[in-house]
Structure 1
């Protein structure tokens, strides 16, 4: 035989029923900040939404949680009791969610963003070696240059330090940038003189993605700029491919043409000079020793 006392207003089941989780989150933020406007901003809600949630929570519990005085709010004794309990509970939830997310990150594929030309001409040709050495590390390579956010699905990034990134980004140096003019070996006598200098009428290949490359090199190497015909290409890899095709002399970073130099497709009669910039591996947190990220960092430095 079942008793019907569980349906009474003062029954145990009614007393232990939890309020809305959203209402509790609104209350916890308002209690912690003692300000409905600041709580609304933190939770991306309106001031009215926070106020309604707190009011409904007070009505459901039958107690006042805040004293409202001169457009300010102060916790009551009941409010402090609930704030402590809700804060502790949300803290436990956040800790558990953090553990689960960390575990998921270890198992999921990482996304490594790399500047397009460096990705195409340096990283991808060497990537099979990394996969062979570290078959358990799953990394998805994507092309991207300049500023970015780790909130956009990127886990790691390789960038040249020619722009400012947020101070909380962790940067591990990979290698210094070295640049120099390159051309087809059979074109050396056409565009370089017997003193191993660029002729004034040498055909120079430029790129819109690094328009000052020639001027920066000339200043660093203390060389005069040629005044011959020029061609400008939309991307760095187009100007490098134009050099391979024999269209002129391109200003090239060593890492982007090292394979072409080794194969004999290109030559660098004047060598390369460091331009003061460097490439870095960027991450949202410091790379921990012994972690897969540390293995990747060690490998990248070895390839440099």
Structure 2
């Protein structure tokens, strides 16, 4: 193989290696790329053969990056991101500005998307691309202009615009409540409680505000609000959830507030932007619009 070609592996090889490096396994990479594990393994092996470099240590059923693999992984990820960005730019009308926005899945589907046509009506010359992110990330490694983040505004190297806080209420299905009638808030201690991984202390804080103590390790754990809400609808227990994100279930009668005692969170929703991109016109337009929408939400609460 000519030397120059040897230094330019195929994108399929690089994508397989990148996914395996990020997920830590060929199985995870196969799931992400919608390939078989064997196909991923063959692509990575072909890449190693082409470069004549061992990128992974194969240890039983696991893989581990070598030192060379760690260095290559960081550089290849940046290359693939740049290629995706270049392709997206080539497909986009140059007269239309682009905003690449990271959103929280449940906040995005339940609060932002129903309102988003209003933004597009006001800003027809801006194209918005969405990516779901559950936790802070490195803006330098991602082709993103801004992110909607829940937590504290402690994201290094960024500017933060506060959107809103949240009030969480204990909810369950009507059938569950009929089977477990409550006489006072303390009765909740005896019921199966559903916990949200992103708000691990929520139930403890709620009970403390009522002068009660929560037993450790009580109840199931869920990663996303949409899933835990469905678990509560299905009668699996009582969930402590932001009221504005489950308003549809409350309106339909699928969930009921079991104790009308909201928990005000110290954390909140923020629009996060890298300092060097804060003045980018599409970000400024989106910031102005979402702050207006958030103010309306706060007024409704």
**TM-score, scaled to structure 1:** 0.56
Q: Secondary structure at the match of 2:250?
A: helix
Q: Is the 8 A contact 2:102 2:130 kept in 1?
A: yes
- Name the structure 1 match of 2:285: 292
Work out the CA distance in 1 between the residues paired with 2:215 and 2:268: 26
- Name the structure 2 match of 1:178: 167
Runs of 5+ in structure 1 lacking a partner?
1-103
Q: In the TM superposition, what is the alpha-carbon distance from 1:162 to its structure 2 partner?
A: 4.0
1:302 matches 2:296: yes
CA deviation string 1:20-54 (max 9, x = no partner): xxxxxxxxxxxxxxxxxxxxxxxxxxxxxxxxxxx
- Name the structure 1 match of 2:148: 158
Work out the CA distance in 1 between the residues paired with 2:279 and 2:256: 37
Specify which structure has the bigger relative contact order, considering alpha-carbon pairs within 8 angstroms and separated by 6 or more residues.
Answer: 2
Aligned residue runs from structure 1 range 6-85, under 5 A: none
Q: In the TM superposition, what is the alpha-carbon distance from 1:229 to its structure 2 partner?
A: 6.5
Q: Secondary structure at the match of 1:265?
A: coil
Bigger CA radius of gyration:
1
Q: In the TM superposition, what is the alpha-carbon distance from 1:159 to its structure 2 partner?
A: 0.7
Q: In the TM superposition, what is the alpha-carbon distance from 1:175 to its structure 2 partner?
A: 0.6
Q: Secondary structure at the match of 1:174?
A: strand
CA deviation string 1:96-136 (max 9, x = no partner): xxxxxxxx998332011112222233222333343344433
1:122 matches 2:116: no
- Name the structure 1 match of 2:267: 277
Runs of 5+ in structure 2 lacking a partner?
1-92
Q: Is the 8 A contact 1:209 1:236 kept in 2?
A: no
- Name the structure 1 match of 2:179: 190
What is the total number of aligned residue pairs between the two structures? 200
- Name the structure 2 match of 1:203: 192
Q: Is the 8 A contact 2:197 2:223 kept in 1?
A: yes
Work out the CA distance in 1 between the residues paired with 2:153 and 2:289: 26
Structure 1 stretch displaced more, 220-229 or 130-139: 220-229
CA 1:133–1:218: 2 relative to 1, 3 Å: farther
Q: Is the 8 A contact 1:203 1:249 kept in 2?
A: yes
**TM-score, scaled to structure 2:** 0.56
1:145 matches 2:134: yes
- Aligned residues: CA RMSD: 3.2
CA 1:157–1:234: 2 relative to 1, 3 Å: closer
Q: Secondary structure at the match of 1:135?
A: coil
Work out the CA distance in 2 between the residues paired with 1:297 and 1:266: 29
